[in-house]
Structure formats: structure tokens, C-alpha cells
Amino acid sequence: MHPAFSVVFFTTATGAGYGLLALLGVLGGLGFIRPDLWLGLVGIALALGLIVVGLLSSTGHLGRPERAWRAFSQWRSSWLSREGVASAATFIPAGLFGIGWVFFGRSGGWVEVAGLLTSAGAITTVGTTGMIYASLKPVAQWHSPYTLPAYLIFAGMTGGVLLNALLQGFAMDSTAVLTGALLATLAGWALKLATWRYNDRLKIPTTANTATGLAGGTVRSIEWPHTEENYLLKEMGFRIARKHSAKLRRITQALAFAVPAILLVIALVSPRPVAAIASVLAAICQLVGMLVERWLFFAEAKHTVTLYYGR
């Protein structure tokens, strides 16, 4: 019984990939980052690579992966379907932007339009991913005002730190990008602390009594509804000890926020070789920390269905 690593990796990789793609589309299309063949190739390949690998990993979570294409047909009512549609649609302007910015070495004009559409598509896709969880009323920890902003801020944060590492590595460093990545990391840290505070104080009014409408005592199940573990218990009924949760929260704060912030400050005040090394280490550290943060996001959530199992 544990959160599926395929989903943990999916949300981490695609968030960083779409964050990087959105920033490249805006800054490259508008000319704030000058066209460069190798920077463009590595940057767009890294962004699209993270997205594709993340999407492929998510299919491992499906019981029948060969039917995944059917999810696209439910876009009118399903956030999961909307995520798939937005994700696929984003590849079209991203391809056009890549051709113009990387191979033609152009910005502005139609390349700018393609870049802005790429950024809009990336932001929309991350937003639909966040809404998959924010819309689930039975999971109180997700159905909160913090879930959607967290997905958007974390995507911008990880994407910004990755972009800064790329610019530093190709000697095209930008103080504005570095400062933005640092501020986004601090904003993500503050939002994560606020989310934990909200969840720790969360009072869930639903009990076995309110669910059954029975009063005059404490309702409890004599036996489970079935003899084996089911999907909801495996994915949304995971029980993590409070001491382990506290430890993992400290690890998350250190790896995803504190250490990257320190490394970015070092990059900000250091000459290029040191700044480049610090920037790359910040990106690697933050991605590892976000894997821990996403695991906690799923592990600490509880589905209301667990009431029927005496939890």
C-alpha cells in the first residue's frame, strides 16, 4: 500500500517540463533570450523529454494502457481528458516555435506567436493536471484552495531553475532569470508551508455516522466490504506515521526549497564557473526534492471511502 511512483514521477517530470517549455516560449519568442542552436536544442529537448517520459510513465498506472486514447473523448466533463487534449495540442505550437527559434534563429513575428501559444498551452496543461485533484471532493486535502496554485507555482519554479541552469551552462546567464528562479523557489516554499498548515488544521465533518445517517452511538464496520485490498485503499488509503511525515516534510523543505535557494544565491554572487555549477546542482537537488514532495502529496491525502474500513 503506497502512492504509485508512476503518478509521482509523472506530476514531477511534466510539471518541470511544461514550466521550462512555457518560459522558453515566452522569453525566446519575445527575444529576451537570443536564438542559439545548441541552447535551443538542449532546452526544448529537455522540456519535451521530461513531458514525454512523464506521460509515458503515467500509462504504467493504468489497468489497460492500450485504452488510454479513449480518455481524449471525455473532455466535456473530465479534467483528465482535458489534460490529455491540452497536452497534445501544446505540441503543435511547440514544434513550430522550435523550428523557428532553434533552426531559423528567429524571434518575433510568427515565432513569437508560436512561443506565446506554446506557453499558454503549457500553463493550461499544468492547470488541468492540478484540477484533476482539486476537483475531487472526497479527498479533503486536495479539494482545497492551495492545490491548483501549487501545481502552477511548482511548474514555474522547477522550470525557472532548469532554465537558469541551461543559461549558465551555455554562458548566456541572465540575472533576471536567476533572480526569478530564486523568488519562485521562495514562493513555492511559502505556499508549501501554508498548504501543510491548512491540511493539519483541516476538520473533516464526515464520519461513519453522518455517512449512514445513524445516530445514538458510534457506527463501526463489523467486517470489511470485501476480502482483498482495492484500488482506493492502495492509492488513497495509505497510512503514514506522523513521525515519518514530519521527517519527509523536513527533507522536502531542504531538497526542494532551502538548498536550491542557497545554491541560487551562491550563483547570484559568484563568477560564471562557480555560478554554473551551483545552478546545475540547484536544479538536480530541486527535482529530487519535488519527488519527495509529490510522494507526500499523495501519501497524506485520505479518501472518504476509508470511513467504511474503520479508519
pLDDT tens track of the chain, all 311 residues? 466 778 888 899 999 999 999 999 999 999 999 999 999 999 999 999 999 998 888 766 666 666 666 667 777 888 988 998 999 999 999 999 999 999 999 999 999 999 999 999 999 999 999 999 999 888 888 999 999 999 999 999 999 999 999 999 999 988 999 999 999 999 999 999 999 999 988 877 677 677 677 777 777 776 666 666 666 666 655 666 567 888 999 999 999 999 999 999 999 999 989 999 999 999 999 999 999 999 999 888 877 776 666 55
DSSP bridge pairs for 139: 303
Name the 3-class secondary structure at 139.
strand
For residue 1, the model assigns a pLDDT of 42
Integer Cα distance of 4 and 87 in angstroms: 21
Integer Cα distance of 20 and 130 in angstroms: 17
Pure H helices in 99-230:
109-134, 147-169, 175-200, 208-212
For residue 67, the model assigns a pLDDT of 62
For residue 68, the model assigns a pLDDT of 64
Integer Cα distance of 274 and 284 in angstroms: 16
Integer Cα distance of 290 and 249 in angstroms: 11
For residue 7, the model assigns a pLDDT of 83
Q: Give Cβ neighbours of residue 236 (< 8 Å, ≥ 6 apart).
A: 139, 298, 301, 302, 303, 305, 306
Name the 3-class secondary structure at 107.
coil
Q: How far is CA 51 from the centre of its chain?
A: 11
Alpha-carbon distance values, 211 to 37, 63, 119, 134, 238 (Å): 60, 30, 44, 22, 21
Return the CA Rg of the chain. Answer: 21
For residue 117, the model assigns a pLDDT of 98
For residue 210, the model assigns a pLDDT of 72
For residue 140, the model assigns a pLDDT of 85
